[in-house]
Amino acid sequence: MADSTVEAASGVPHRRHDTREAVLFGGVYGAVLASSLVAALTQHGHSSAASRRYDALWVLVTAFASALAHGYAHYIAERGPRRRWTSFRALANEWPLIAAVLPTVFVLAGAGWGWWPPTEVEEPAFLLNIAILFTLGVITARGSRRHWSAALLLGLGDALLGVIVVVANALIK
């Protein structure tokens, strides 16, 4: 009942807000996860084509495991009556996390398939994920009807999460 009151007052269906929120949360989480995994997987100097294919697979497996864990946690935390497909919907709502890691998987797999040097994937993966974070921040802010200046600042704030991973990687190495 409360949801219909919110919908009537705002004129915007509640589901649309949930989707935008899920895309931001899952996308940010996925991009930061992908950057962190690239930093961890490239830390030990394994840079052959075979190791890049292995890295791509592990980034994908980790993303799926994280999405399943996050979806399951949402399902368990939900109070109230459950419908038949609620658990599947909770898991399906984690698609933004998977989508956010796919560019990194592509970079790693491409190096594994010989499309570019396997020793040079860390920087492009970091830059790609920082760009994803920035874009998610801007698009989400604009979708919330914020001015361009605020949207760009929020995009920079999201991108800063990726920069933190890069700086941490440099300090740890």
Residue-wise pLDDT for 94-125, tens only, equals 899 999 999 999 999 999 999 999 888 999 99
Q: Confidence class of residue 72 from pLDDT cuts 50, 70 and 90?
A: confident
Average pLDDT over residues 20-24: 80
Instruction: Say which residue, 80 or 29, is predicted with more confidence.
Output: 29
Radius of gyration (C-alpha) of the chain in whole angstroms:
18
Three-class SS state of 82: coil
Token look-up 């440099």 returns: 170
